[in-house]
A = this chain, B = another copy of it.
């Protein structure tokens, strides 16, 4: 393909880490301790679904920027209030503990080895996440995800899909946008990166929303599709 990629930046929640398993486990632990019973996977899904509208209110300027923990807390409060089953009984300390579950999610099994392989190549690797720098440092250390650099939407006080986030990665890494590859399992993230001039790679994560979720169609308007992170490393070594 001859894409001439100098750096690859990765979405983290969903693309490299299994947020649903990590968050469901944390909800179950906190809930059981409080004597509550619920379909904790469904609570995770509701929490995650309420996160995006809150985030888009920041991107549109309707809400002032606040750290991801703050957005997660707003979405959690809404999800707990909306779920019934007495989940409103969870207190401040429990809610803070749940928000911190996003700092220590498990990696998808292929991700650590794939990132090591990319690290050993000439391509510079970085996160490009809505998680803050401190969260990313803890999460990548916990999950064994090796990067050359951590980049975050926090550095421009906004959130993806704001084009400033993608362009800040090109500027900070000192690479041209067309030589910067955005890697994600979310077509909307990749579409926004492409609009900003970046190249795009799609990695399917069919289990992101659990084993019973409807399949996501593979997007056709991306520069490449890889089966997983080691496959991406192989493709970039061959064609990058």
Number of interface residues of A (CB under 8 A): 23
B137, A173: Cβ atoms closer than 8 Å: yes
- Partner among B137, B138, B140, B174 whose Cβ is within 8 Å of the Cβ of A134: B174
- Partner among B134, B148, B149 whose Cβ is within 8 Å of the Cβ of A173: B134
Q: Residues of B contacting A138 with CB < 8 Å?
A: 124
B140, A148: Cβ atoms closer than 8 Å: yes
Any B CB within 8 A of the CB of A182: no
Q: Residues of B contacting A136 with CB < 8 Å?
A: 149
User: Which parts of A165-203 form the interface with B (CB within 8 Å)?
Assistant: 172-175
Given A136-B149, A149-B133, A154 and B141 contact (CB-CB distance below 8 Å): no
Chain A, interface SS category: helix
Any B CB within 8 A of the CB of A155: yes
Any B CB within 8 A of the CB of A135: yes
Q: What are the 5 A-B residue pairs with the smallest beta carbon separation, nearest first? A: A134-B174, A133-B172, A137-B149, A134-B173, A149-B150
Q: Looking across the interface, which residue of chain B has its beta carbon closest to that of A124? A: B137
B133, A154: Cβ atoms closer than 8 Å: no
Complex formed: what's the CA distance from A175 to B138 in Å? 11
Any B CB within 8 A of the CB of A126: yes
Any B CB within 8 A of the CB of A132: yes
Complex formed: what's the CA distance from A148 to B143 in Å? 12
Q: Residues of B contacting A126 with CB < 8 Å?
A: 137
Given A149-B150, A155-B155, A174 and B135 contact (CB-CB distance below 8 Å): yes
A154, B134: Cβ atoms closer than 8 Å: no
**A-B contact list, 22 entries, CB within 8 Å:** A7-B137, A119-B141, A124-B137, A132-B174, A133-B151, A133-B172, A133-B173, A133-B174, A134-B172, A134-B173, A134-B174, A134-B175, A135-B174, A136-B149, A137-B149, A137-B173, A148-B150, A149-B149, A149-B150, A150-B150, A154-B172, A155-B155
Write the nearest CB–CB distance from A131 to chain B, whole angstroms. Answer: 11
Q: Looking across the interface, which residue of chain B has its beta carbon closest to that of A126? A: B137
